[in-house]
Amino acid sequence: MIDPKIEDSWKKILFDEFQKPYFISLKSFLVDEKKNHTVYPKGANIFAAFDNTPFENVKVVILGQDPYHGANQAHGLAFSVNDGIPHPPSLKNIFKELQDDMGCDIPKSGNLTQWAKEGVFLINTVLSVRANEANSHKNMGWEIFTDAVIRILSYQKENLVFILWGSPAAAKASLIDASKHLILKAPHPSPLSSYRGFFGSKPFSKTNEYLIGHGIKPIKWCI
């Protein structure tokens, strides 16, 4: 039986998922990978998005791709970096849009844990990566797991906001019931695509307008 260290509400909901053959295979892959390579984030942080945002607290889902692959960057929250680490280019653009949209000062730290505590579920589609090799854990099983998480959130909850940046994230819209949730799509905040419509998309104010309209406490985006 696989019994990962993950926040209790999520453990109950995902317990059956952890016992499926693909997840058992994924766990074996990670054990072997760690014997031969450095893997990010640290094992204790792989489920940080779940640990910081219990199921009942989720209001917003921001979907990333895979963790940062540089030393000390990734800590289990999509787009977030540890304190003291320079802001990666995509995060710089997220903060720029945050400033333009909500009037927030650019945060000194790129650590988004405060958003997670507010109910923003910062989940990557792949939850681990080999050091210095982007997408190196792609197609090893994580996508099956995170697709299941998105489906569960869509099915079991109401009035969530799903923020999907970039084509891979936008493709996940098919997993979400648009009749009871808000889906916000925009180009990825990467410098390669941010000027195609990410800037000016106002995801933060649109999210809060929707939450308030459904009697839900808005997110304190300024950190």
CA dist 3 and 176 (Å) reads 27
Active-site residue flag, 100: no
Strand pairing report for 60-64 and 161-165: parallel
Name the active-site residue from 66, 83, 105, 177: 66
Residues assigned a catalytic role: 66
